Structure formats: structure tokens, C-alpha cells
Structure 1
Amino acid sequence: MFRSRYVDVGDVRLHAVTGGEGPPLLLVHGWPQTWYAWRLVMPALARHYHVVAVDQRGIGLSDKPEGGYDSAGLARDMVTLMQALGHQRFSVFGTDVGMPIAYAVAADHPDRVDRLAVAEAFLPGIDGGATLIRLLQPNQLLNARLWHLIFNQLPPDVNEALVRDREDVFFGAEFDYSAGTSKLPDETVRYYVRMLRSDRHALRGSFGFYRALWTTAEQNVARRAHKLSMPVLAMGGEQSAGLSIGPLMTSVAANVQSVSIPGAGHWIAEQSPDAVLAALTTFLAG
């Protein structure tokens, strides 16, 4: 049913897993995940949609160049990928760092996007200050979950040097602290860690989005001048963002629905796939 493939999108070759019949649906994973984050929802989605689960630039089996990690560049990657696969218009769902990427796709290329679903992130430059300020508060859980927003922006001779050969500690902690009470299986975390150890440029690619964070913030400030007109679904895990994504998206989009995913922490498609499928398919069918 599914095919692993490589697609040239200008200066990089992206890896994607595709399959299914129906309207095209692009899935954009979060950090530090890969396309594999969607594995539990892809078979059901493929009954009604042509699913494209991509490895972002710098991630998984995709190329890992030095630059191009701002949201405008990553959005161009996504649109070029879908164009190469024969899809002029499509729906897109992005979670975690995939959320600002998916938002950039919809804002920069509104003629290409039918519907937008987002989850579990903030939009840099748009109501993001409050999220970052929490790092200064005496809340140990929030510190454990959010400190990477700063650490990941550091130069490679600092963060890459500190994480290399300790990927299991660093990334393992990220998966654990953001999971809530329903932890991901050990074998799933080990898979992601193996991918992050498999390429000498994997850490550079993993941190690329964060090093371009302030460029993305400037782009988002400009995007906010024009609200999205397509329907938007905002999702959050019950034990994580909850319904907080809805008000954020309302500031940049005119037609927003909000859903809290029961039983999920941050990794909603892996922790509560049935609830994500129910919310997403209802939204897409609307």
C-alpha cells in the first residue's frame, strides 16, 4: 500500500512515504520525529486519501544541507514536493515544528491548500513570547519540556558537541517529558535515536529549524497581516496543549475549529491515533 520514495525539490532530495487513493493529504512531522510519527494513522487515512508523509529537510532520510530551515524555505520544499508528485492542491497537517511549517505553506501558498490542520506548537513571532517566558519560571515540568527551544539554537560546536554520542539521553528525555502519562514504547524512541545517529549531519539537520527560529518569527509577523481563509483544525493533547492551539490560530485564520485529543500528551498521533483519526477525518470530510 505504501511506497518509500525520494523526490528532488530543488537544492535537496526529500524522502517521503506515500500511499492510498483519494484527495492528497500532506503530513508534516514534529521534532525529533520523522515520517514514522504518522505510521499509526496512515493506513486508515489511506482508505480515503493519498497520503504523503514527508521527512523534512535535514531529517530522517532526507538531505541535510547547511541552510534553508526557515519556514518560508521549508514551505517551498513542501509545495515543490507535492507539485512533483502531481498534486496542485492538497490538505496539510503539521504537528510540533510541523505546525509552523504547515502554517507557512497555507499562508505563503494559499492557492495550493484546501484545508489546514495543526497541533501542539506555537507560531514563532505570534503570541510566542509568553511561551518562551515560561522558561524563566520555577516550574520544573515546563523547564524540562521547553528548555530545548533555547538549547537547539546554539552553534554546532556547543549543542551538537554536547549531544553527539549522548543522543539517547538528550532525545530520550525529550520524548519522555512531553509524553504525559502515556509514554511512547521504548522501541519507538530507540528507532528515532537510531535515525539521529545514522548520519553525521543528522544533528545539524535536527537543530536547523531552531537556528532559523527568529527568521521564521519575522516571516510570521508579516504573514499575520492576511488571515487564512481556508478551514483550520487546531488540535492539542489533553495532557499537553489541549485547546490552547485554537485561540492562537484564531489570530491568524478566520475559520478555526478546536479539538482536545483525550489521553494524549504531546505526541498525539502516536499516543491517541484513533482520536486523531476521528477529529481529522471529520474535519477533512467537511
Structure 2
Amino acid sequence: MGMVGGMTKLSSLRLPDGFTDVFTSRLVEVNGLRLHAVTGGVGPALLLVGGWPQTWYAWREIMPALARHHTVVAVDSRGAGLSDKPDDGYDAGTLAADLVALMAALGHDRFDVVGHDIGTWTSYALAADHPERVTRLAIVEAVIPGLTPSPPFFGSAAANQRLWQFGFNRLTDLNEELVRGRERLFFGWQFATKAATPTAIPSYAVDVYVDAITADPRALRASFAYYRALDETIAQNEQRSKTRLTLPVLGVGGALWSGPNAAQTMRLAADDVTGFVLDDCGHYPAEEQPARFTEILEDFLRV
């Protein structure tokens, strides 16, 4: 384990003023896997674990404020962004072990965790599998298979609109054939329909996420690999949920997307859960409502 040298990709990205004065992009080798993380700030360590189909860049708007009181680590998990994209290891337990190793390599044995979207699968596994590492856990816009009750096969049209990609993304190869060459259409639709408005996630940000997938021939397959590993993750979560979490947990949802469901899901697994619903917000609180989301996080993290 160790550093693989600095990365200076940040200069090509649209970022908040002064961002590159605080944050450094780096590749870190853990267990033969190179993971990309953007780190900066002072104080207790805070790990940010993003969702599908995003990269560390999803946290850009809240990182400068958080860095005033935390050493922030925004990671590209295995398969995402600039991190390595091996063929396997996309179950939640392996992804969590990756991040424990990453944080240890960066000098952090204990840390707080914020997970969004499928990043919540890894974040829950981190807290459950490595309780000695995780101090507080914030779960944002979560559906956690094996914990969240499965919806009926024939649900409402509204439920289908929100959940159809779970089935699609788990396919073995047809999904890749359909999406390749149409990545902007497929992934752009996700952002346009899940945020509060079709332009709440600006086109320059969508471009960053789509470019990360089109730039690497392994990336599209890796983006589906999280879903293809769900049988394994679900089995793991059925075991994890037998031991309730005792650490403080925050569940945050956007009022226009999952609302109170993040907190309700975590109450199935944890004893100390605080819920918060963000008004005028869809599926992407860190980008849609960064100022209010940061306040909620800081209130929780400083308890």
C-alpha cells in the first residue's frame, strides 16, 4: 500500500473558486488496486462515497465548506472515475474493504462516512463490517438491497420510472450493447429525471460523469458491475442486518425523490437514526442544495 504520486487532473474541471488551493487529486495503491481520491482540509477524517453513475466530482460543491472542519476524502470507488476497473469485486463487502484500506493508507484509522445512492451500499457495509473504523454514518438518498423491502414486480408507473434501471443494469450484456454509443442519452436521462428539474444538474457536470464512462473502455461494464453483484450484496446485507448498528446514523432524502425513505431504511438496521428531508430537492442533495445539505451534515457530524 502506498501513494502512487500526485494527479493534477483538477485543473481541467469546473470547480468552486479556490478549490485547488485546498484539495489534491491523488492515486493510492491498496491491495494491488489503484484508487483515485481528492483530499484536503483539516480535522477529523470524513469519507465521501458517491453514487451511480457519478465520480468524486458529485461532492465538489460541499467539499470546501466541509474542509474547514474535516479532512475530506472524496473517492472514486473501484470501477468509477480514475480508479482501476477490475472484472470483479463489486459486492458491498469488497468495496468497503477497499475503502478501509484507502483510508488507512491516507493515515485515517477512524473516520465519518457519507454515502449517496449506491455509495450507501458500500457505506452501510463499512459501518457494519468495520465498526471500529466508522464513527458516524450519513446515508443520502438510499435504496439498500437486502435491507430496503423489495417493491412488487408490477408496481405503479411512478415506481417503475424510479426503479426500472435496477433490473436493466443487472442484465449480463444487452444493457452494455444498448448503451454504448448512447451514453449521453442514457445517463443524461438519469440526471434529468431524478433531479428537481431537468437542468438542476448542469450539463457541464453531466459531461464530466458521461466522459468518465466513455473515456475508458472498461468503465461502462464497471458501472453495471455494482448491480450485477447484487445477489452477493443482498445476501451479505441479510447477514449484516442481524446485528444492529449502534453508531449515530443520519438519513437524508430529497423531498422530490425519496423523502423519508433513507431514514426509514436505516431504522431497519440501526438504533440511533436521525432523519432529514430537503425541500425543493431531488435525488442529488450535494449538487441541488449544497448549502443546506452542508448545514445538515455539519449539525450531525459535530454532535
Q: TM-score range by the shorter chain?
A: over 0.9
How much does 1:241 deviate?
1.0
1:26-50 deviation digits (Å, cap 9, x = unpaired): 0000100100000000000000000
In 1, the alpha carbon distance for the partners of 2:98 and 2:90 equals: 10
In 1, the alpha carbon distance for the partners of 2:220 and 2:175 equals: 9
Q: Number of aligned pairs?
A: 281
1:206-261 deviation digits (Å, cap 9, x = unpaired): 11110001110000000011111110000000111111211211110110000001
Q: How does 1:246-257 map to 2 (within 5 A)?
A: 246-257=263-274
Q: Could you say which residue in structure 2 is the equivalent of 1:59?
A: 80
Q: Could you say which residue in structure 1 is the equivalent of 2:71?
A: 50
RMSD: 1.1
Paired residues of 1:55 and 1:61 also in contact (CA < 8 A): yes
Instruction: Give the residue type in structure 2 aligned to 1:218.
Output: A
- Of the three residues 34, 40, 47, the one matched with 1:26 is 47
Q: Could you say which residue in structure 1 is the equivalent of 2:91?
A: 70
In 2, the alpha carbon distance for the partners of 1:258 and 1:138 equals: 26
Paired residues of 1:236 and 1:243 also in contact (CA < 8 A): yes
Residue 108 in structure 1 maps to residue 129 in structure 2: yes
Instruction: Give the residue type in structure 1 aligned to 2:146.
Output: G
In 1, the alpha carbon distance for the partners of 2:192 and 2:186 equals: 10
Query: Unaligned stretches of 5+ in structure 2?
Result: 1-21
Secondary structure of 1:7's counterpart equals strand
Secondary structure of 1:60's counterpart equals coil
Aligned structure 1 segments of 4 or more residues deviating by more than 3 angstroms: none
How much does 1:138 deviate?
4.0
In 2, the alpha carbon distance for the partners of 1:167 and 1:108 equals: 35
Structure 1 residues 60-69 or 185-194, which shifts more? Answer: 185-194
Structure 1 residues 258-267 or 64-73, which shifts more? Answer: 258-267
In 2, the alpha carbon distance for the partners of 1:281 and 1:237 equals: 17
In 2, the alpha carbon distance for the partners of 1:17 and 1:91 equals: 16
Paired residues of 1:237 and 1:265 also in contact (CA < 8 A): yes
Q: Could you say which residue in structure 2 is the equivalent of 1:165?
A: 181
Q: How does 1:2-17 map to 2 (within 5 A)?
A: 2-17=23-38
Q: Could you say which residue in structure 1 is the equivalent of 2:191?
A: 175
Q: How does 1:165-204 map to 2 (within 5 A)?
A: 165-181=181-197, 183-204=200-221
How much does 1:60 deviate?
0.4
Q: Could you say which residue in structure 2 is the equivalent of 1:87?
A: 108
1:144-190 deviation digits (Å, cap 9, x = unpaired): 3321101111113x111111110011001111111133621111112
How much does 1:143 deviate?
2.3
TM-score by length of 2: 0.90
- Of the three residues 126, 136, 155, the one matched with 1:137 is 155
In 2, the alpha carbon distance for the partners of 1:220 and 1:16 equals: 26
1:105-139 deviation digits (Å, cap 9, x = unpaired): 00000000100000112111123312xx2x62341
1:2-23 deviation digits (Å, cap 9, x = unpaired): 0000011113110000000000
In 2, the alpha carbon distance for the partners of 1:38 and 1:256 equals: 23
In 1, the alpha carbon distance for the partners of 2:235 and 2:60 equals: 33
Instruction: Give the residue type in structure 2 aligned to 1:275.
Output: R
Secondary structure of 1:240's counterpart equals coil
1:41-71 deviation digits (Å, cap 9, x = unpaired): 0000000000000001000000000000000
In 2, the alpha carbon distance for the partners of 1:112 and 1:203 equals: 31
Instruction: Give the residue type in structure 2 aligned to 1:85.
Output: L
The percentage of counterpart residues that share the same residue type is: 50
Instruction: Give the residue type in structure 2 aligned to 1:174.
Output: Q
Q: Could you say which residue in structure 1 is the equivalent of 2:300?
A: 283
In 2, the alpha carbon distance for the partners of 1:137 and 1:106 equals: 31
In 2, the alpha carbon distance for the partners of 1:136 and 1:11 equals: 43
TM-score by length of 1: 0.96
Paired residues of 1:145 and 1:174 also in contact (CA < 8 A): no
